[in-house]
Structure 1
Amino acid sequence: MIIQPSGLPSFRPLPIASQNVSRQCRLLILLLHILSLSPALLGIIYNIKAAYDVPNRDAGGPLVLGNTQTDYWVANLWCVLAGYWSWTLSTSMIRRWLYHYEIINAIFRLITLMALNWSISAYLQNLQDPITIWMSASGVLLVGTLLKLTLASNPKYSRKADAESDLRLHSKSTIVRVLVLPLFFVTCCTLWATIYEIGKVEYRSSELMEGVQLDTTIQTKQLVLVMSSWTEQGRQRRQAMRETTLQWLPNDSYRFVLGKPPSASAQMKYGQLIVQESSENHDMLIVPSSDIEQDKSHKVLEALRWASSVDYEYLIKTEDDMFVRWDLLTSELIALGPKAEYWRGLAYRNMPPSDDSKLAMNTDYGMPILPAYTSGSLYVISHDVADWITRAKTVVRYIARDDQNLAVWLFGHTIKPIHDPRIQENEVCEDDLLAMRVGGGDRLQTMYGLAKQGRSQCSGGPAIRSCSVCYPCHKRSDDWRSYNLECDPVKGITLHNQPLVTKIADQTVKDQLEKSRLGENDAWIIPNVLSQRTSVYSDNDWDLIYWVCWTSDPSTFTDRHWRALELVWIHQPRAVIFMISNTLSTDFFKDYISRGYKIHVVHIDKENLLNWHWYFGPGTLDWLQNWERWENESFFYWHLTDYVRLYLLYSYGGTYMDMDALWLRAPPDPNLEFIGSDYSSVWSDREWTLNDKNLYLPQGLMRFKRGWTLFREMAESSFSSYAYDPKCFNCHGPKAITSYVREHRAPLEAANFTILPRHVLYPASYLEIYKYLLPNPKAEAELKSLESWNIHLFGKMTNSLDIQPGSIIDVLFKRFDLGRHHPNGSWQIMGPSQHLYHTGTWLDAPPGRFQGLDTIYIRGDLTEARLEIEIAYGELQVGTQPWKDRTTHSQQEINKLLNQLTYSPSSELVTKGGRDLLVVRVVSGNKVQEAKIEVIIPAPQRLI
């Protein structure tokens, strides 16, 4: 009989009973056999615990090159393999020893094998990498198993020499089944996990921080990422910030961000220091990116990816050499509350790519102009903006400058950065700065101490006289405009001259003005009427606001100027006139105020304009601060008027009119925003006029809602100490606004910016207006034929000319006169004898309104009176209400009612046409007057 060789199946039952082994020995052998699995089982338990402990271990910032969760899970695979090989090896040896030796010798050898297994496993634990530990343990067991199989298949050590071929065949089968297949499986898993980790999550901090949130009880919910580096300077800066400005922040609300060691020497030199620093402060974050300056964008992106698992409202990115008023910034963000699509910082726009080779962008980036971006010294973005960047499925492009790269990542989104000039990139100083770069820790300590004491940030230490970008440069040593920069107070910084690059057109033509908060950012100029930022009429009744300016001596205020004001109230009795003046007293218009009309004198001078913050930005602030420098120039007060009207329309809205603009009728549409137009006869003006016909835009009469960007940009461009030309009369008026509109006409008109035809506001040019002051036998007919809202007298051309009897202007003044010089109690009803009810053009009043030359009003001083109106056939309304007789208490009140009358003909008159009779009766004391107006309703035209 041929004895079959015994194989080595993995879990075959021990043949102890066949060897006549006692029960006690069986238990001992079984216990020793199970102990062969103990090192591997303990390793599995340790690795599982260590894997789940990784987030807690790195909650304050991951240690340098620590083991990831993936490392521990892969190590567990090798633990299982080591346990399997340990079990099969001990099983094989027990069977062999029980077959060849006495039971005592077999047990002794088994104990020796277990001791050796435990000793080697314990020795290998000195290695740091868990994968290395269990790969080494598996290697030792592999060698042991191969030696055993070699000896088992050698006939010299086998009792059955005739079974040599079978043993060899069986050995080969065992190697494949027990060694090769398990080793191949575990090796493949290890290779896959390693490739995945390197390519996708190579020690990614977001993986380490999974499940570990920053303290969500922090009220601010603001996460601060401070970019730092593997240098001694970086370490000193981090410590300086911890000891100063970061005291304003909760410990769990910020992280210093570092990349991987830039070199082996940096790892050896600073590695242990950074480990110690992280352990002590728990505020460091190491991301899977190079730490060199050229890869800073990648480092920022990885930090944003880590932050995606953190609960915050705003993310603030800054540098480790910045002094930041975290107390002010965080309080502002708390007051702001949660906001979507938020991006704020020192903004740049229309900037070409950098020519610096170290900061050059990818060659496949084809745009000649960068999107608007914010300085990397400090910017604030909301959580959704960070998510757009980290979750983008498009190809990620990198520019060395991370601030520009942020704009590239956000390109295509509608979000635009909010410009905040209080963030500066250089070592400058202003008392209201939020952030600025500092030269060293001593300067940081000084500024922090001053801020804690409530003192000026610019006091103490070396005086910094450089002018901060986008700040006024009055009495400063230099001007940032000399570096070819210009700054829009809302849009940000750009280059003044870019001859080789076309700027990207900005379609934004209106600014979202900051809301007024009386007592905080606003104060009354005229109590309950006009504040430093707005007026009580600016939002809903902006069309009632009229702005006029007077900078001459009161003695030059002539009859034609009084009439200009009266014509406003005749056609719009509810109008509120603000007289901006540096010469007129507050009671100059008391006669009109006593009659119920609203007019307020607003005194302007350098002190008031500065105290009221009536400037747009650094350029206009500089110009006002240099008031004394310009005051004696010939055109200063003309220019001051040009400046003031831009500010008033931008901040308050309403109608600006020169004091020689005479109204014939009120604009029929209260929501229409407009500017007039005229033709220049000077050939050289063609370089800036709107078209080849020399059409230009005078500023003598304009009406707009508040917030139009053109007024701010015009003022900052024209009225800047750096660019202002005090000897150019027209540079800050028609030329400035026409040039601007010429460049931005399409987006302006798309936003309802209306350019009226010439005849609407300027029926006669400045070269022909004198004819309106000359006698004209057809004056009354010509006045009626004018399809105009206003006649502009072009004061510079007509101030020295008399208004002669029988002229068009003389007829106009006789038709419209509030009776300022009439004696008390002298009054009369003024109105047309006939009124044609018809539908006119868009320039005319709506049908049934008694406006223009058909205006009905009371001339003279009238206080309490009874207004009674009768109509023969039609109906009358005041506003939207049916007419009812009523008592009035002032000239303004009765004229307001008459101005709001709307006549509607009866259905029969509408069908057939005809005539109606309107009787207006005024009863004041013993005096009764009435006016009879024949209303003509044309018969509808019939098609033949």
Structure 2
Amino acid sequence: MLHQMEESTKRSPFSFLHIKRTMLSLFFSLPTSFFALLLLLLLSYSAFTGFSLHLPKSPLILSPPTLFNLSSSANSSLVKNRHLSFLPNSTQSLSLSIQRARRVKKHKRGLRSVRSEPHFPVSLFHSRLKAFFNTSSSSCKVRFFMTWISPLETFGDRELFSVESLFKSHPEACLVIVSESLDSHTGTRILKPFVSNGFRVMAIAPDFGYIFKDTRAETWFNRLKEGNVNPGEVSLGQNLSNVLRLALLYKFGGAYIDLDVMVLKSFSKLRNTIGAQNFDAKTGQWSRLNNAVLIFDKKHPLLFKFIEEFALTFDGNKWGHNGPYLISRVVSRVNGRPGFNFTVLPPSAFYPVDWRGITGLFRDEIRSKWLVNKMKQIRKESFAVHLWNRHSRNLTVVKGSIVDSIISSCCIFCNTQL
């Protein structure tokens, strides 16, 4: 009996080895598609786990735009309930996770345009701007501001012509283009023809912290950087430009124009002025204003109200909500109230055609009656013409069109083709 047990013990390792080899042989004989399926399942599980782990990190980006209460009690309530919306099922959780990841990625991409300067006692932006204005103050009759929160490669002939037309009508003006991309070696080269011809123009990267300081935009901007503001689907650069123009005029005073505006006449006699985009033919009253051209004194109370409205009602998912519609909302509320002295010019001043009719300015329809009358109106009543770049950027200027005529009369170098 003892001898049989010893024999069994000696054989057992070989039996186990035989079984192991058989199993491995069977496993490796399986088709390749089986291993691919297994790998796909493992990767899916890994991705789901990764999203789930990072999901609760910043729930406010998923929240709809609202007026956030910054008190500690409100924040504690948000922290307690931030997981509740993800409980129903794993499919909903994964979908919301993916949406959040995309929004965070877009938000970070948009914030690359936000330049944070080191905390010096005096802002470099302030120092450069002060030096520019002081050097030019003897002959700087009008201060102009433009903004370009976009890549340098998108700054083209149309934008250059906007600068040309400005200096054609205001040869003694000072122009500051607030732009990080233009404040570069290549940007300096682009603007060099103006400087070489004696025009006072400077591109300077924005210091948002300094520009927004001591305004209602400061809190909004800090919350944006912290991820506590939903940037929405509209371009963050566009909305930064909307509030940046208001803050620049509030702190320094002057005129702001978009880079798709062609200037026809001097603004020197205009003060605290906005242009109407549309008006009601029956009542003769404006129905919508626009922010592509703004002319205001430093620290004007209406600018304060504009900035306040931006900070309190920001919505990144509605085009125009933080721009033209904002201007219209605020003016309709303060119109007629004491202390708000400003002028609303008719559409012909800056917007002789709206976005629906801009195509007509690029065509020469055998000198149609509409074109002839529109050209007469523009020459007589318009200070500038807004080209509505969003709707005209792909249009070609036809010889004999209204835009072609404006280029011929308002160019400095006269070799630019829009």
Fold in common (TM above 0.5): yes
Cα gap change, 1:775/1:479 in structure 2, threshold over 3 Å: closer, same or farther?
A: farther
Given the superposition, is the C-alpha separation of residues 636 and 524 from structure 1 closer, same or farther in structure 2, using an over 3 Å criterion? closer
Identity of aligned residues (%): 20
Which secondary structure state, in structure 2, belongs to the residue aligned with residue 656 of structure 1?
strand
Distance in structure 2 (CA, Å) of the matches to 1:537 and 1:696:
39
Contact 2:232 2:316 in 1 (8 A): no
> 2 CA distance for matches of 1:543 and 1:747?
31
Q: Secondary structure at the match of 1:703?
A: strand
Q: Is the 8 A contact 1:661 1:790 kept in 2?
A: yes
Structure 2 vs 1, CA of residues 575 and 667 (structure 1 numbering), >3 Å: closer, same or farther? same
Tell me if structure 1 keeps the 8 A contact 2:211–2:248.
Answer: no
Normalized per residue, the structure richer in helix is 2
Q: Aligned partners of 1:522, 1:696: CA distance in 2, in Å?
A: 40
- 1:699 maps to 291
Q: Given that residues 474 and 625 in structure 1 are in contact (C-alpha distance below 8 angstroms), is that contact kept between their aligned partners in structure 2?
A: no
Q: Which runs of 5+ in 2 are unaligned?
A: 1-67, 78-119
TM-superposition CA deviations, 1:600-634 (whole Å, max 9, x none):
11213xxx312x25244466324344236356843
Residue 735 of structure 1: how far off its partner (Å): 1.6
Against the structure 1 CA distance between its residues 591 and 522, is the aligned structure 2 distance closer, same or farther, given a 3 Å change threshold? same
Does the CA-based 8 Å contact 2:216-2:311 persist in structure 1? no
Given the superposition, is the C-alpha separation of residues 523 and 634 from structure 1 closer, same or farther in structure 2, using an over 3 Å criterion?
Answer: closer
| Offset at residue 772 of structure 1 (A) | 0.4
Say which structure, 1 or 2, has more relative contact order (CA 8 Å, 6+ apart).
2
Aligned counterpart, 1:674: 273
Secondary structure of the equivalent of 2:147?
A: strand
Cross-structure match for 1:264 = none
Q: Provide the residue aligned with 1:746 in structure 2.
A: 336
Structure 1 or 2: more strand by fraction? 1
Distance 1:570 1:680, change over 3 A: same
Partner residue, 2:61: none
> Does residue 735 of the first structure (1) align with residue 325 of the second (2)?
yes
Alignment partner for residue 402 of structure 2, among 804, 808, 811? Answer: 808
Determine the structure 1 residue equivalent to 2:196: 594
Whole-angstrom distance in 2 between the partners of 1:628 and 1:775: 51
Deviations 1:239-298 (A, max 9, x none): xxxxxxxxxxxxxxxxxxxxxxxxxxxxxxxxxxxxxxxxxxxxxxxxxxxxxxxxxxxx
**Residue ranges of structure 1 left out of the alignment (5+ in a row):** 1-472, 483-519, 682-690, 823-944
The CA distance in 2 between the partners of 1:528 and 1:585, in whole Å, is 12
Residue 310 of structure 2 corresponds to residue 718 of structure 1: yes
Q: How does 1:96-245 map to 2 (within 5 A)?
A: none
SS at match of 2:259: coil
Give the 3 Å change call, closer, same or farther, for CA 653–521 of structure 1 in structure 2: farther
Q: Matched residues in 2 for 1:772 and 1:741: separation?
A: 30
Deviations 1:754-773 (A, max 9, x none): 11112111111221111001
Distance 1:538 1:776 in 2: 45
Within-5 A mapping of 1:653-668: 653-667=253-267
Contact 2:140 2:173 in 1 (8 A): no
Query: Hey, what does 2:234 align to over in structure 1?
Result: 634
Provide the rounded CA distance (Å) in 2 between the counterparts of 1:704 and 1:618: 18
In 2: Cα distance, 1:736 partner to 1:478 partner: 31
Q: Residue 242 of structure 2: SS of its match in structure 1? A: helix
1:266-665 pair list within 5 angstroms: 477-478=72-73, 523=123, 525=125, 527=127, 529-530=129-130, 536=134, 544-586=142-184, 587=188, 588-604=190-206, 608-610=207-209, 612-617=210-215, 620-627=218-225, 629=227, 630=230, 633-665=233-265
Aligned-partner Cα distance in 2 for 1:669–1:623: 34
Give the RMSD, CA atoms, in angstroms: 3.6
Residues 537, 545 of structure 1: 8 Å contact kept: no
- Structure 1 Cα separation of the partners of residues 276 and 406 of structure 2: 23
Aligned residue for 2:23?
Answer: none
Secondary structure of 1:551's counterpart equals coil
User: Helix, strand or coil for the counterpart of 1:747?
Assistant: coil
CA offsets 1:866-903 (integer angstroms, 9 cap, x no match): xxxxxxxxxxxxxxxxxxxxxxxxxxxxxxxxxxxxxx
Partners in 2 of 1:478 and 1:565 — Cα distance?
51
Q: 1:725 to 1:537 in 2, by over 3 A?
A: farther
Distance 1:649 1:617, change over 3 A: closer
Amino acid in the other structure paired with 1:646: L
TM-score, L = length of structure 2: 0.61
Specify the code of the residue in structure 2 equivalent to 1:676: G
What is the rounded CA distance, in whole Å, between the counterparts of 1:619 and 1:576 in structure 2?
Answer: 26
Amino acid at match of 1:758: P
Which residue of the partner structure matches residue 354 of structure 2? 765
Q: CA deviation at 1:800?
A: 2.0
How many residue pairs get aligned? The number is 294
Mark the structure with the bigger radius of gyration: 1
Contact 1:678 1:758 in 2 (8 A): yes
SS in 1 for 2:250: helix
Q: CA deviation at 1:679?
A: 1.5
Q: Is the 8 A contact 1:535 1:652 kept in 2?
A: no
